[in-house]
Amino acid sequence: MRRNRFISRARHQADADTLAKLARRLSESGSRLEDRLWERRLVELVNDRLARGFGDAVEAALDELSTDHPRAYDDLADLAESCAESAVVEIDGEPHDALLLAIPVLAWSRYRLPATKLSASVLENVLTQVVGHLAPRGARCAVGDFLFSIDQLPESLGEVRDVAEQMFSAAVQDGRLKVDSKSLREPIAMLADARYLLAAIVVPQASPLFHWQQTGVDPDSKISAISALREQLDNVLTPVMTGCKFRTLAPGAFHAALRQADRELREFSLEAAVSFLKLSFDLTPSVLQATIAPFEEKRERSSPEIRIGISRTSEDDVVIEGVVWPLLGDDEERSIEEIEAALRRLGIVRLVSHAHRFPMEFCDDCGAPMFPNAAGHSVHTEPPDDGEDQPSAPLH
């Protein structure tokens, strides 16, 4: 899918340096007027590089800024993400604004979560909901005919731009994008995870993108529009999500919607783990305890995460289910308080928090994360053996 790239290293580096320089100046700017000027130059450059398939230069500039210039990094990242997920599209010689949207769906199941092609009728229904609840009058919309897992979505800025352009062409035509699913990776099996629909809205340049932005429409009608869309999509997706408990989230611009889903998935995963233990093994929250501990990679500057090991109250060694809570830039102490509150809401009141940091360990055989037990060790989960339709232990 990616365009061929023939660009010299020197040229690539020069581009990255220029982008980093402009981003540093933008981050120091003290007025909207200055902001706008730097932003315009950055947007032109980023768009030009993305359009020519040189998204790597933008990623290199971000790398360059990531260690010493956090504000400039954030400014450039925001701007580059926005450039990748939107574009100006010509229709009959007239410029149009086009935005790529994602609609996240949180789901959990005792069986494999679907990541699948949508039937023609489901696709039609999703498109109807997007047109009816999100888009302004006369907008052109599109929906992709696939329910994606996170690792099947475009990742780099260049990949996002490529998919955005396909969606925008589909919006100009009949609104239905046939996704080439042969090249998609098989998703990693998780008890709880997010799935995503992709959509696009195309409107005449500088006119409202969403229904609630139109003149004469109450801006607060956004709230009812989003909740109606979520409710309708929950119905529309029911045949796709057989055997799953799921919840459609609010749609948003591609990158923002993915971030929001990552946040909401954390507490949803805790709920899923507790419901799963109740449904599959008849273990109620009152006979469970949770151990909470920070995990960190020693060498690299990867972000730490909190892992939660769930055990029976009588067993301090055996972890029967685990949940990973990535920090996503949040404060660690506050996150631990948030997790404790979430566990209490779910009815688990016996909580153990370890202050010491665990190494970020995964199982050598199956790649599953290791979880903390109450005794203070990091262990592999072992499902309880009294379930009816579950294997009694990991298969290795």
Say which residues have a Cβ less than 8 Å from residue 206's Cβ, sequence separation at least 6: 97
> 191 vs 363, which CB is nearer to Zn ion?
363
Interface positions, 212-231, toward Zn ion (CB under 5 A): none
Kindly tell me the number of DSSP H helices and DSSP E strands found in the chain. Answer: 9, 15
Q: In angstroms, what is the minimal distance from the CB of 363 to Zn ion?
A: 3
> 188 vs 223, which CB is nearer to Zn ion?
188
**Which helix (H) or strand (E) element contains residue 353?**
strand 350-353
Distance (Å, rounded) from C-alpha 306 to C-alpha 272? Answer: 17
Q: Which of 335, 302, 82, 44 is nearest to 74 (CA)?
A: 82
Residue 387 near residue 328, CB atoms below 8 Å: no
Q: In angstroms, what is the minimal distance from the CB of 379 to Zn ion?
A: 11
Q: What single string gives the DSSP state of each residue in 268-326?
A: HHHHHHHHHHHHHH---GGGEEEEEEEEE-SSS-PPPEEEEEEEETT-SS-B-EEEEEE
Residue 159 near residue 184, CB atoms below 8 Å: no
Distance (Å, rounded) from C-alpha 319 to C-alpha 300? Answer: 27
> 351 vs 363, which CB is nearer to Zn ion?
363
Q: In angstroms, what is the minimal distance from the CB of 383 to Zn ion?
A: 12
Residue count of the chain: 396
Q: In angstroms, what is the minimal distance from the CB of 396 to Zn ion?
A: 6
Q: In angstroms, what is the minimal distance from the CB of 382 to Zn ion?
A: 10
> 228 vs 393, which CB is nearer to Zn ion?
393
> 204 vs 369, which CB is nearer to Zn ion?
369
Judged by phi (left if over 0) then psi (alpha if -120 to 50, else beta), residue 363 lies in beta
> 188 vs 366, which CB is nearer to Zn ion?
366
Q: In angstroms, what is the minimal distance from the CB of 365 to Zn ion?
A: 4
Interface positions, 17-56, toward Zn ion (CB under 5 A): none
Q: How many residues bind Zn ion (CB under 5 A)?
A: 4
Q: In angstroms, what is the minimal distance from the CB of 381 to Zn ion?
A: 8
> 111 vs 362, which CB is nearer to Zn ion?
362
Say which residues have a Cβ less than 8 Å from residue 386's Cβ, sequence separation at least 6: 281, 282
Q: In angstroms, what is the minimal distance from the CB of 189 to Zn ion?
A: 13
Interface positions, 65-84, toward Zn ion (CB under 5 A): none
> 259 vs 377, which CB is nearer to Zn ion?
377
Residue of minimal Cβ distance to Zn ion: 363
Distance (Å, rounded) from C-alpha 44 to C-alpha 49? Answer: 9
Instruction: Confirm or reject binding of residue 253 to Zn ion (CB under 5 A).
Output: no
Distance (Å, rounded) from C-alpha 335 to C-alpha 337? Answer: 5
Interface positions, 319-378, toward Zn ion (CB under 5 A): 363, 365-366, 368
Q: Beta partners for 329? A: none
Residue 91, SS3 per DSSP: strand
> Under the rule (CB under 5 A), what is the footprint of Zn ion?
363, 365-366, 368
